[in-house]
Structure 1
């Protein structure tokens, strides 16, 4: 079977291209949302069958398959842009598909604003996590387009940006573009955080100025454990440890024993693509994590509280890089547990102050047949020398 996917506008009276109008009488089965049906019903042949697109995609595609004939699908804007074309590729990858695109909603918003969008970075939080938007913010993109939903609304987006210190953006909202209630609203994030937008909307974020998100955050800028100012991986050691992990080519980094979250924050800021999962058993560090990630504009780090040995690690994304910031005198057991979740090429790094940690790490790595790199010794100010040890799974 074949899918003919037609992108349409939000105009009350549709103006379909002649090529599309000529195609429609050749087919019997049509599909789309209820809103789409109201917009294009007048163009369909009298004996047509309409299939509503709802949230249950497996059931929808089972229905398509049961008909065993070509299906014409109507979608908003450009079906190839976060649209139904990708859904077809997911649930029916071998199917033939022909697409007739229209402008996507962010293009329409830029058109209304006379805003050049060649450099626009597109993101979607529609039924998704914040990840795409977080990465664009960490990369300090100058123009960010956001597809929203009923939960991650323009107000929720503005609130998140303010929470993490990205108040250097202004927001433009396009509401029911090309519809009878079309409206364009622009303003500062503080105003948009309480704005109730029309349910059909999209957002354009424009950066007013660039903020410093450079690597190497001074230690004194982190909130820490009360009375223990030295309980932090010092900045030079932090940067050298991240370099040893070779994070530019990694997907997921586990930070075990995050304390102030300084390593997680530096990793996420330097490598926005990186999924960072931070573990810590001291309850008081939870609040420190929240304060530091917001103070240093670093959204998207996953925090896991409690004893590492009590965690169900199987439900988490497997790491290809691990920083061991704490091990509770169970370093060998920790490395053995980690080994189950590591694939070949994964790297482990530890900063050893005591000789025992250095000896145990090397012995455990050799027992597991890991490849050990040459140790790196760093002395910061008047502190004791720290040995940075790196092991790679064979």
Structure 2
């Protein structure tokens, strides 16, 4: 018989041990040490050694690992594996070293107060993330529940919703759900600065207002992105993302990022996707990061450097887009990627086009020429103004 796990992770509610299952109570009673934030330690009786979890959080992980093999309980809020600390800790451990007993999550308690179906509600943990992660979800009638850092973050939320044009949204502030300090307050987003909320706090948002919703298909209008003219234009971007064909949990290399539009729209396609943009110009690196944060995908990794040298030691990609900096050396480097990697390269100049034709003849794949023309005034009438044609090569290694 294997030994019992040395670490027990318990989701503690605001009602303290009264809300725990028998297995959680037994683990708490038998622990030699309990590690938790001060608020959680104040909810349990004295007994085992108590260690307050330090700030920053990573220091607490080191303290916990130093106790390896000694019966220890870690207390966390609600469900430790839903926007909680559970995964952060267990990634350092073997599966037989720990066990967990989740409590009621904040999202479940909030939905129970409101009568909202969780499967149709966006749930976000923003206590340590930027409020801009809300941006892709802000559309009239959308329901969102967010956990927040503290009362100041509630005020910041109201300001953010006003700035994005959704100040009319109906908000429900819920403090200390499930405990004796529980308080529920309903306000329009524009009035969130008028109240004082205490930790732990979450806010339910029923989105209303005249703000601009973010479309959920590839090919956002160009004005969603700040740029210096170096941007893959909307129709070409839509066709490029179709060729890249993002699939859940995949990673993209966006080489020659420009303003980051390709990588950003890749990330907007699914929360499980990840991406790295490689850009040689420092001013554009800052622009890419700003665009990613503005559109709610701050998880985009931006590398300042030129390919192929900057590609060393990066997370291997499932797909690669080259929008700038094409060279024979870069092509050779990409050829060494694992089989199954998808490559999509756009070329504008005759020299780059010739390189793609040669590469296609050698490796195979598909060549496509994209030509876009827009109607523009010619005196009192209209005519077509053509953009530079784009040659696209796509290939799976």
What range describes the TM-score normalised by the shorter chain of this pair?
Answer: 0.7 to 0.9
C-alpha distance in 1 between matches for 2:75 and 2:387:
66
C-alpha distance in 1 between matches for 2:166 and 2:339:
38
Shift of 1:325: 1.8
Alignment of structure 1 residues 362-381 onto 2, 5 Å: 362-363=357-358, 371-381=363-373
Gaps of 5+ in 1: none
C-alpha contact 1:332 1:361 (8 A) present in aligned 2: no
The partner residue of 2:298 within 297, 300, 304 is 300
C-alpha contact 2:303 2:310 (8 A) present in aligned 1: no
Shift of 1:79: 3.9
The verdict on how the C-alpha distance between 1:390 and 1:56 changes in structure 2, with shifts beyond 3 A counting, is same
Establish whether residue 275 from structure 1 lines up as the match of residue 312 from structure 2: no
SS at the partner of 2:253? Answer: strand
Match of 2:395 in 1: 391
Gaps of 5+ in 2: 374-385
Report the TM-score when normalising by structure 1: 0.72
Match of 1:107 in 2: 108
C-alpha distance in 2 between matches for 1:6 and 1:259:
46
C-alpha contact 1:257 1:324 (8 A) present in aligned 2: yes
Match of 1:199 in 2: 199
Establish whether residue 347 from structure 1 lines up as the match of residue 347 from structure 2: no
Shift of 1:267: 3.2
The partner residue of 1:41 within 45, 51, 68 is 45
- Bigger shift: 246-255 or 302-311? 302-311
Shift of 1:389: 0.9
The partner residue of 2:213 within 194, 211, 214 is 211
Alignment of structure 1 residues 292-331 onto 2, 5 Å: 297=295, 299-300=297-298, 302=300, 304=302, 308-309=306-307, 312-314=310-312, 316-327=314-325, 331=327
Shift of 1:119: 2.8
C-alpha contact 1:278 1:301 (8 A) present in aligned 2: no
C-alpha contact 1:148 1:154 (8 A) present in aligned 2: yes
Name the count of aligned residue pairs: 373
Establish whether residue 184 from structure 1 lines up as the match of residue 184 from structure 2: yes
Establish whether residue 332 from structure 1 lines up as the match of residue 328 from structure 2: yes
Shift of 1:375: 0.9
SS at the partner of 2:366? Answer: coil
Match of 1:359 in 2: 354
C-alpha distance in 2 between matches for 1:335 and 1:354:
16
The verdict on how the C-alpha distance between 1:294 and 1:167 changes in structure 2, with shifts beyond 3 A counting, is farther
C-alpha distance in 2 between matches for 1:28 and 1:291:
47
SS at the partner of 1:106? Answer: helix
Match of 2:64 in 1: 60
The verdict on how the C-alpha distance between 1:20 and 1:288 changes in structure 2, with shifts beyond 3 A counting, is closer
The verdict on how the C-alpha distance between 1:162 and 1:275 changes in structure 2, with shifts beyond 3 A counting, is farther
Q: Deviations over 1:77-123 (max 9, x none)?
A: 23444446545633332326554443222333333444443433333
SS at the partner of 1:255? Answer: strand
C-alpha distance in 2 between matches for 1:372 and 1:168:
54
Match of 1:19 in 2: 22
- Bigger shift: 343-352 or 133-142? 133-142
The verdict on how the C-alpha distance between 1:302 and 1:212 changes in structure 2, with shifts beyond 3 A counting, is closer
Q: Deviations over 1:170-216 (max 9, x none)?
A: 44332233456543344444444786642322233333479350433
Shift of 1:241: 1.8
Shift of 1:303: 7.2
C-alpha contact 1:256 1:323 (8 A) present in aligned 2: yes
Match of 1:147 in 2: 147
Report the TM-score when normalising by structure 2: 0.72
Shift of 1:288: 6.5
The verdict on how the C-alpha distance between 1:173 and 1:270 changes in structure 2, with shifts beyond 3 A counting, is same
Match of 1:245 in 2: 244
Shift of 1:344: 2.7
Match of 2:94 in 1: 93
- Bigger shift: 152-161 or 88-97? 152-161
C-alpha distance in 2 between matches for 1:378 and 1:208:
39
Shift of 1:41: 0.9
Shift of 1:380: 1.5
The verdict on how the C-alpha distance between 1:269 and 1:285 changes in structure 2, with shifts beyond 3 A counting, is same
Match of 2:79 in 1: 78
Shift of 1:356: 2.0
Match of 2:255 in 1: 256
- Bigger shift: 236-245 or 155-164? 155-164
C-alpha distance in 1 between matches for 2:261 and 2:98:
48
C-alpha distance in 1 between matches for 2:89 and 2:284:
45
